[in-house]
């Protein structure tokens, strides 16, 4: 155990099931060395925000439409992250591509979970259900999820951990998504804890 907990922010855009897994992991001690200090959504009416509030976690939304460019939006994001003294940013179903202001402010301090075995089925346009549709269409026998460090290359940063899921005859994009989500909920918290164990704070 560290003497001081690492301040985590979770960035969301949708249902927030990974957010709940992270919140639960902090409570249960799976993430023993971190605390979730802020949840940021780029959309106002998402279940993830509700779930954060239900858990008593500070949650805000910042809408892209209020800014002249993606970079200006991300500067605001960095301002908020700094205000809450965030040390590690966790993308959990965050459906925006990060730009230079945030990538530079949090170099090697942003993690993402992606619902495929990267480098397969990643990159621009590959997110959410689209990933599972492409996987089923390709007819591969195995898929899974990947936790990686975020850099300038979409879904291309260093891989920290992966979990595999078998694809069975009759699996659909929806059934595959559900199976992989269950693995995501295990893999992300344990990987976050391992990652912050290496922090020098
Ligand atoms: C998760 O499957 C996550 O891996 C995926 O979106 C879903 C969000 O679910 N993320 C991406 O596709 C990012 N490229 P959640 O909101 O219930 O955590």
pLDDT at 201 over 60: no
How confident is residue 87, by pLDDT bands cut at 50, 70 and 90?
Answer: very high
d(CA 114, CA 10): 15
End-to-end CA distance of the chain: 12
Ligand 1 pocket, residue 184 CB under 6 Å: yes
Ligand 1 pocket, residue 144 CB under 6 Å: no
Task: Ligand 1, residue 48: give the atom nearest the CA.
Answer: 16
- Buried b / exposed e along 11-46 (16+ C-beta atoms within 10 A): bbbbbbbbbbbbbebbeeebbebbebbbbbbbbeeb
d(CA 171, CA 165): 11
- Calculate the dihedral angle through the C-alpha atoms of 48, 50, 55, 56, rounding to the nearest 10 degrees: 120
pLDDT tens digits, one per residue of 3-31: 799 999 999 999 999 999 999 999 999 99
Residue with tokens 């902090």: 26
pLDDT above 70 coverage of the chain, percent? 98
Arithmetic mean of pLDDT over the chain = 97
Q: Which sequence spans correspond to the domains of the chain?
A: 6-198
Ligand 1 pocket, residue 115 CB under 6 Å: yes
- Fold category of 6-198 in CATH: Rossmann fold (3.40.50)
Pocket test for ligand 1, best of 128, 156, 173 (most atoms within 8 A of CB): 128
Ligand 1 pocket, residue 128 CB under 6 Å: yes
pLDDT tens digits, one per residue of 116-132: 999 999 999 999 999 99
d(CA 68, CA 21): 34
Within 8 A by CB and 6+ apart from 19, the residues are 10, 12, 39, 48, 51, 52, 92, 93
How confident is residue 200, by pLDDT bands cut at 50, 70 and 90?
Answer: low
Q: What's the 92 CA to ligand 1 centre distance in angstroms?
A: 6
């Amino acid at each position: 155990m560290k003497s001081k907990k690492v301040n985590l922010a979770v960035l969301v855009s949708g249902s927030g099931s990974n957010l709940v897994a992270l919140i639960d992991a902090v409570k249960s001690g799976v993430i023993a060395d971190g605390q979730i200090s802020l949840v940021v959504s780029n959309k106002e009416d998402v279940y993830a925000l509700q779930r954060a509030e239900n858990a008593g976690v500070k949650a805000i939304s910042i809408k892209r439409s209020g800014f002249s460019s993606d970079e200006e939006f991300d500067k605001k994001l960095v301002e908020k992250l700094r205000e809450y003294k965030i040390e590690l940013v966790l993308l959990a179903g965050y459906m925006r591509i990060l730009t230079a202001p945030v990538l530079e402010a949090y170099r090697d301090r942003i993690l993402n979970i992606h619902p495929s075995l990267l480098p397969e089925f990643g990159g621009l346009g590959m997110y959410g259900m689209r990933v599972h549709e492409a996987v089923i269409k390709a007819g591969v026998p195995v898929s899974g999820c990947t936790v990686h460090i975020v850099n300038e290359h979409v879904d291309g940063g260093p891989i920290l951990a992966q979990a595999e899921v078998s694809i069975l005859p009759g699996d659909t994009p929806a059934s595959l998504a559900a199976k992989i989500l269950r693995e995501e909920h295990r893999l992300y918290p344990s990987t976050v804890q391992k990652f912050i164990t290496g922090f020098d704070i």
